[in-house]
Amino acid sequence: MGKQEDFVLRAIEERDVRFVRLWFTDVLGSLKSVAIAPTELEGAFEEGIGFDGSAIEGFARVHEADMLAKPDPSTFQILPWRGETPATARMFCDIAMPDGSPSYADPRYVLKRALAKAADAGFTFYTHPEIEFFVFKSKPEPGTRPVAVDDSGYFDHTAQGASQDFRREVITMLEAMGISVEFSHHEGGPGQQEIDLRYADALSMADNIMTFRTIVREVALSQGKWASFMPKPFTDHPGSGMHTHVSLFEGDENVFYEAGAEYQLSKTGRAFIAGVLEHTPEITAVTNQWVNSYKRLAWGGEAPNYVCWGHNNRSALVRVPMYKPHKSGSARVELRALDSACNPYLAYALILAAGLKGIENSYELPPEAEDDVWSLSENERRAMGIAPLPRNLDEAIRTMENSELVAETLGEHVFDFFLRNKRAEWQDYRSQVTQFEIDRLMPVL
């Protein structure tokens, strides 16, 4: 065993850890967990913990079910909501086959492959998400409208507000687990919150996002509330996105930065954006993977629905911020389509692959969109070469089906399962009679 494994074993003894939870995600991004006793951990580091992969969404068929969860010691943290004595810890796992080879069904491995390809080109990929979600007074009952925990709006400060206390407890737990927070505030919808995580490499950030979702839900339940990352729970209020700032570094140098260039954006940065714009329709089924995701995009405002980029244009799909124009390390690109319910491992892998494709093939960046894209007519957008994103999950699936980039990045197994699952979700959705249809049509037909 290496130094990190030794550190974990010592920490478990010193902190009186009685339970170690091994975490991983299925293909759809749901968190899975198995608890082991500390005495089993040394064996888990060396050989992994066996489990039935056929029982996990998208992992394996019945005749090839045996799989191993191998804990990553660099992700060891104490779970603050479980109490200090006896303590409970967690580690994320890499999923392996019985012969020790990586499982191609593991979303974490999909991202690792994409990051390895970037590393071969000399790049490290960093991300910084702005994660939005809703907090409700209780878990909504079927057929009822959810009741938000407050009626506050964007940046509102409410004396003795429940949302402030909620965010404070979430942030305290995040920082106790080594996850740095940059900002937090109330968002535009009732009960809607935003917490921004400080930038990190993409693999660490994907792990952090999964931890973030768990902490938010745990805090909500502890306070008798219900938290949801559903992209659009209310018809008449904005949805929850996960605007993500990304950058590429070569060593300590931010390759998106070029002094004196327009918006200080380098040729490499422009090619990266061009790659993202070119391939975004193909990856939208992953960055916006639920039927409800497209209700958020259809809302307009700051939820993008057209393929374009801009500088200070918050209606654009890709934005180039200039908060610190003379600080090279802060040069970055903001991607605005993602929602906070996506699988971050798969989403980040595809965004990186799209950007790298633009760099490899020297894609030309189209002219920026300076107007509010939503205020333009369809003819005006068409004349400017601004194409729409997929309008629903069905369109997104059909676009993804023909994508060599997505198939190559996800791998055949994940690619095929994801499409099968999403086709089934769309079929279930399109067969439902909604309350809208009953209210609109029943009185007149």
Per-residue model confidence as pLDDT tens digits over 401-422: 999 999 999 999 999 999 999 9
Mean pLDDT across the stretch 288-309?
90
Bridge partners of 90?
21, 77
pLDDT of the residue at 366: 93
Segment 10-28 shows an average pLDDT of 94
Q: What mean pLDDT do residues 254-282 have?
A: 95
How is the chain split into domains, by residue range? 3-103, 113-439
**Residue 243 pairs with which residues in a beta bridge?**
130
Q: Which CATH class is domain 3-103?
A: alpha beta
How confident is the prediction for the chain on average, in pLDDT?
A: 92
For residue 237 the two structure tokens come to 């209020």
* CATH code for the structural domain at 113-439: 3.30.590.10
- CA–CA separation, 321 vs 202, rounded Å? 20
Give the mean pLDDT of 46-71.
76
- Give the predicted TM-score (pTM) of the model: 0.95
Read off the pLDDT band of 62 (50, 70, 90).
very low
> CA 149, CA 192: separation in Å to the nearest integer?
9
Q: What's phi and psi for 29, nearest 5 deg?
A: 95, 10
pLDDT in tens, 197-244: 999 999 999 999 999 999 999 999 999 999 999 999 999 999 999 999
Burial track 182-202 (b if 16+ CB lie within 10 A, e otherwise): eebebbbbbbbbbbbbebbeb
Q: What percent of the chain has pLDDT over 90?
A: 76
Query: What is the Cα–Cα distance from 423 to 419, expressed in whole angstroms?
Result: 6
Q: pLDDT tens for residues 109-124? A: 999 999 999 999 999 9
Interatomic CA distance for residues 442 and 445, integer angstroms: 6
- 3-state DSSP: the chain helix, strand, coil percent, rounded to 5? 40, 20, 35
